[in-house]
Chain A
């Protein structure tokens, strides 16, 4: 095995976790990572001179993930229309229960258990909602690109992102911040 290939292999675990978070399907994640490593091997010359192998690989992987999403989203059904969190608000648009402050959220970011809780909350999101949210917050795509890949309007896109954030807020409050 040459030295470059060995360095690529060392990144496989990270790339699998990265792809798995977005795709929520271990086979699809493995395929995307495999394609990435093959492409990287063929493109060794274009890496030459760049400082960070992981950043370069993640860039390639993002494209593979988007290809996969594009294929999947042709087949994926729309999420059942969840109530738009209307129950959180009373008739005049005020909070039924105003959000309280979360205690020392920064300390949570130091804890492994917090990220397990966050991941569990992400897994509970409906398919399309999770897909849009992860494309935005995990892959870091702009809303315009997300709309294009999922073939939805920007208004629909904002609604999906809103639903994801509302659901995650509620879930984290129940499973993490509310228990402290």
Chain B
């Protein structure tokens, strides 16, 4: 079953909070390979995590 962008957005977020299953990871990867919107979304989610780390450790 192919994932929709909406499902991918949930899995990308959950990927920051739990280990995704092998099947989930594969399906997300396949989707990201062909979808610019979701690829940008994933980069933004990763960036958000880095930004929060920085915010917490600023002097």
Contact = CB atoms under 8 A, between A and B. Distances in A.
Contacts of A125: none
A21 B52 CA distance: 11
Nearest to B17: A143
Given A21-B55, A98-B35, A169-B41, 6 more contacts: A94-B4, A98-B36, A109-B50, A161-B13, A168-B48, A169-B48
A102 interface: yes
B13 A165 contact: yes
B49 A89 contact: no
A93 B6 contact: yes
B52 A89 contact: no
Interface of A: 14, 18, 21, 86, 89, 92-95, 98-102, 105, 108-109, 114-115, 118-119, 136-138, 143, 154, 157-158, 161-162, 165-166, 168-169, 172
A95 B37 contact: yes
Interface string B13-45: 110111000000000000000011110110111
Contacts, number: 91
Interface of B: 4-7, 9-10, 13-14, 16-18, 35-38, 40-41, 43-45, 47-56, 58-59
Nearest to B42: A99
Nearest to A110: B54
Given A102-B43, A169-B44, A21 B51 contact: no
Nearest to A14: B59
